[in-house]
Chains A and B, each alone.
Chain A
Amino acid sequence: MSTLPVMQAKLVLLGDMGAGKSSLVLRFVKGQFFEYQESTIGAAFLTQTVSVSDATVKFEIWDTAGQERYHSLAPMYYRGAAAAIIVYDIQSPSSFERAKSWVRELQRQGNANLVMALAGNKADIAEKEPEKRKVDADEAQAYADENGLFFMETSARTAANVNDLFYEIARKLPRAEPPTPAAAGVTLSAQRQSQRPKSQCC
């Protein structure tokens, strides 16, 4: 256990404002949830370490603000990131569109090893009141498959899938060290390259 290699991974959360980026991170890092989460200004930096089977991953998480006025500063936060979680609110089609545009923007950056995850947040609401769901999980899954993303519906409130999301990312991260070679990153990049033109579908 103690001999596992520790790798650092910069992870950035992107998405429309109010999608629940900060709530996801807070749930993951501190195990907390607040009904009223103040909007983030700029970006918050948090760290959390997780252990997966072959490595200990120390996430350096950039929880960015969703407001559009910060958009031009986003590259500052996602530059050099090893992973990105693009968050949307399953009640809001526009936040899903925004998520897609984030995906496109990240694809344009051409970081072949970037692990991208799509998170449909606030899934607990759909469980209680299905009529509030506006973005279909299948639709999102299809989009994710098409673009080589890894998709999960999460709920920061109930903590459903939150840790899974991060652990899955930790597993998918390309292992730089020779002792732990992993093919995941390569596969993703191949997909990403081929799928790029299709992302115009919306």
Chain B
Amino acid sequence: MTGRDGSAGADGASTSNDGASASSSPPRKHPWRWHPSRARHHESDSHPTWLRRRRHMFIVSDAGKPLWSRYGGEDSLAGFTAALSAIVAFVGDDGDALRSVGWLGSTADASGARPRRPHELTVLRRGPIVLAAMTSTGESPAALRRQLHLLHAQLIALLTRAVERALTRSSKFDARGRLLGGGTDALLGTLAHRMTWDPGCWMRAWAPLPLPPQWREKCVRALRDGLVRVMGGAGAGALVGVLLTDRHVAAIANADPRAGRSATVTASSTPSSYSSPAGGDRRAIGTAGGGGARASRGRASYYAGMDPDDVITLCNTVRSGASFRSNEESFAPVCLPNYDADGFAFAYVAYLRTSDGEVGGSSPEDEPGGRGIDSRDESSNEEGGVCLVLVSTSRDSFPAAAEARARVEETLRREGLLDRIAARVRSRSPSFDVGDSIPGSIAIPRDVPAAAGGGGVAGTPLLHFVYLRPPLGQYVAPDWSPPLHGRREQKRLLRTYQRVFHSMNRWWPSRREWDDDPFVSKNTSGESRGKSGDAAEAGSPLAAFFGGLRISSGGGGGGGAGGEDGGSVAGADDDVRDRRVHYEVCDDHVLLGCVGSDFELYVALDPLTRRSAAVAVCNRLCAWLRAEEAGLFAVC
């Protein structure tokens, strides 16, 4: 709809279908988990069901070669991708960058089913690679461009920017056949799917596993011990260690203890190293340089020195690569795009055994002789498990990493942390919804005190919330609880969060490298059914809201509950920041969004909640979250 500089004139794209019987959503599958078969490789661009899919994503080369498509077989989409690149090129020739095109297609269809939104096309160019989203979900171009940016980051994480160089050198380069075949494209599929269900994907944040701070500190110390003592620290190439579970990140430690020091300081995000316009002149180096590269990139501003996008893509790679789970130990090249987009780092991946699985414990290598041909088949192949990832820039780091793993595992086991983490994960796993969903950290009925808006369905107006701490690159959200148990309602709420998130004015991130647009896109889509109001004027009930949050315009902004060690809160951004509050009422919920100095909170409440009550709940919830922050977030 915001066909800014897009030329709708190039509508020869022949994709304006009339999609018969449109109301059918993708067939229900249980459990709700992404599976490679959901890529529907048999579909082509003339396939009616393909045309009807609501959220297409593509990666094509600027020569029009399809690299990846969320749905359909890449080989049978040549017509579509050719048209797509023609549109992009047509606009590009005028010196404009195509952002989005209101798409063709009918809103209502012949069968008289519910009217459908036409598809819109959003495009993001990264050097010789064109990323495009064709959606009928009503997501705003800004939101989609953010997602395409992340998709690109995942592509780079798989291939490094060598793929750009190869495509620049020769437009005939068969990137798909040579690079993305063999199931690795499934990683892009899971990410595209995750973007719907994990708000972190578009908030640029990851979900930490709630842990008592002293546990987390022990985990971080164990990781750092492995990275520094065994793997030789940053000097020997050791980069980061991550302890992750199926849905959360339990701990991250950087080999360089100084990295991420300023994470809790409200610093603006740094320009990432790879989003610069394709400078195809940087040579590929097999491994990234030593730790020295880090300082020059100024990437110390996030927690543990890890850009959230790197955490997201690394976790996505590890979690969706089933081979990691089924094997004792793996060693795989990964690229951390915001660390060094040109070179591979090497990730040692191992799922650590928790004692409920098998008590055997010690490292698998130390079992001599008699182990028969089919001993040790783990039942832990499916679910759960704590995964250790040790990343190094040295391709010879496997032996050291394996040793570090033994040490980390031993420490964690001795302290009982592995089992505690596993227990946390189990207690977290939601009862009624399985499969991919929002990585909830807490349960509103159980964990949130009534004073802060917790309680059962009838007891509280609070339905759901997302609490984001941009400087940490982390967010916390509760598991779905009744009445939000339908996938449809959940998705709708997530899309609402997304719309509100992208419509807010905020200081963070000050430079959104995924989009050159100014952040303000007033009312980004036609979807907002409710009234949305900017209610920040003085005298409104929200003044109390701000008071409750203790956000002053002075230097010490947001200095509420502690837990962060980053001491001084930079005052530099205070003038720039533009706190905003968003209040909206619709059939399903009341949504209240607030962007503070170093946090963002989006709260969904029962649709009958009055504004004052909503603000009060939001206030108390926010205060509680601030107080609980040390346990909810990884801050140590």
Residues of A near any B CB (own CB < 8 A): 6, 17-18, 22, 26, 28, 30-32, 38-49, 51, 56, 58, 60, 63, 65-70, 72-73, 76, 163
Q: Top 7 A-B pairs ranked by shortest CB distance?
A: A42-B332, A31-B374, A39-B183, A44-B327, A38-B322, A17-B182, A67-B182
Chain B residues near A26 (CB, 8 Å)? 326
Interface SS, A side: mixed
Interface pair A41/B321, CB less than 8 Å apart: yes
Nearest residue (CB) in B for A38 is B322
The yes or no answer to B376 lying at the interface (CB within 8 A) is yes
Q: Mark B46-72, 1 if CB is under 8 A from A, else 0.
A: 000000000000000000000000000
Which residue in B184, B347, B368, B402 is a CB contact (below 8 Å) of A67?
A: B184
- Residue of A60, A63, A68 ringed by the most chain B CB atoms within 10 A: A68
Interface pair A39/B333, CB less than 8 Å apart: no
CB distance from A84 to the nearest CB of B (A): 17
For the complex, give the distance between the alpha carbons of A44 and B365 in Å.
14
Chain B residues near A51 (CB, 8 Å)? 369
Chain A residues near B159 (CB, 8 Å)? 69
For the complex, give the distance between the alpha carbons of A49 and B365 in Å.
10
The yes or no answer to B357 lying at the interface (CB within 8 A) is no
Chain A residues near B344 (CB, 8 Å)? 73
For the complex, give the distance between the alpha carbons of A65 and B333 in Å.
11
Interface pair A41/B373, CB less than 8 Å apart: no
Which residue in A17, A43, A49, A70 is a CB contact (below 8 Å) of B368?
A: A49
Knowing A28-B373, A32-B374, say if A41 contacts B324 (CB, 8 Å): yes
Interface pair A73/B395, CB less than 8 Å apart: yes
Nearest residue (CB) in B for A30 is B377
- Residue of A17, A28, A31, A40 ringed by the most chain B CB atoms within 10 A: A40
Residues of B near any A CB (own CB < 8 A): 158-159, 177-184, 286, 317, 321-324, 326-334, 344, 346-347, 364-365, 367-369, 371, 373-377, 395-396, 398, 402
For the complex, give the distance between the alpha carbons of A73 and B333 in Å.
8
Interface pair B323/A40, CB less than 8 Å apart: yes
Interface pair B333/A63, CB less than 8 Å apart: no
Which residue in B182, B326, B329, B333 is a CB contact (below 8 Å) of A66?
A: B182
CB distance from A81 to the nearest CB of B (A): 13
Nearest residue (CB) in B for A48 is B371
Chain B residues near A70 (CB, 8 Å)? 333
| 7 pairs, A vs B, C-beta closer than 8 Å | A30-B374, A41-B330, A44-B329, A60-B365, A68-B178, A68-B179, A69-B178
Beyond the given pairs A39-B183, A45-B327, 7 more chain A to chain B contacts, judged by CB atoms under 8 angstroms and listed by A's residue number, are A30-B375, A42-B332, A44-B329, A45-B331, A49-B368, A67-B184, A69-B179
For the complex, give the distance between the alpha carbons of A35 and B451 in Å.
53
Nearest residue (CB) in A for B367 is A49
Interface pair A43/B332, CB less than 8 Å apart: yes
Chain B residues near A69 (CB, 8 Å)? 158-159, 178-180, 184
CB distance from A67 to the nearest CB of B (A): 4
CB distance from B164 to the nearest CB of A (A): 14
Nearest residue (CB) in A for B179 is A69
Which residue in A6, A18, A44, A76 is a CB contact (below 8 Å) of B330?
A: A44
Chain B residues near A30 (CB, 8 Å)? 374-377
Chain B residues near A17 (CB, 8 Å)? 181-183
For the complex, give the distance between the alpha carbons of A44 and B326 in Å.
9
Chain A residues near B364 (CB, 8 Å)? 47
For the complex, give the distance between the alpha carbons of A6 and B366 in Å.
12
For the complex, give the distance between the alpha carbons of A46 and B376 in Å.
13
Which residue in A38, A60, A68, A72 is a CB contact (below 8 Å) of B326?
A: A38
For the complex, give the distance between the alpha carbons of A149 and B368 in Å.
29
Chain A residues near B332 (CB, 8 Å)? 41-43, 65
CB distance from A8 to the nearest CB of B (A): 9
Nearest residue (CB) in B for A26 is B326
Knowing A38-B322, A48-B371, say if A63 contacts B182 (CB, 8 Å): no
For the complex, give the distance between the alpha carbons of A56 and B370 in Å.
10
Interface pair A47/B182, CB less than 8 Å apart: no
CB distance from A20 to the nearest CB of B (A): 13
Knowing A44-B327, A45-B398, A47-B364, say if A39 contacts B377 (CB, 8 Å): no
Knowing A44-B330, A45-B330, say if A38 contacts B323 (CB, 8 Å): yes
For the complex, give the distance between the alpha carbons of A67 and B321 in Å.
14
Knowing A22-B323, A31-B373, A32-B374, say if A43 contacts B178 (CB, 8 Å): no
For the complex, give the distance between the alpha carbons of A18 and B182 in Å.
8
CB distance from B333 to the nearest CB of A (A): 6
Interface pair B367/A42, CB less than 8 Å apart: no
CB distance from B471 to the nearest CB of A (A): 32
Interface pair A46/B328, CB less than 8 Å apart: yes
For the complex, give the distance between the alpha carbons of A46 and B329 in Å.
7
Chain B residues near A48 (CB, 8 Å)? 371
CB distance from A116 to the nearest CB of B (A): 22
Chain A residues near B398 (CB, 8 Å)? 45
Knowing A46-B327, A65-B182, A69-B159, say if A31 contacts B377 (CB, 8 Å): yes
For the complex, give the distance between the alpha carbons of A39 and B185 in Å.
10
Nearest residue (CB) in B for A31 is B374
Chain A residues near B346 (CB, 8 Å)? 42
Interface pair A41/B184, CB less than 8 Å apart: yes
For the complex, give the distance between the alpha carbons of A158 and B347 in Å.
33
Knowing A30-B374, A73-B344, say if A45 contacts B182 (CB, 8 Å): no
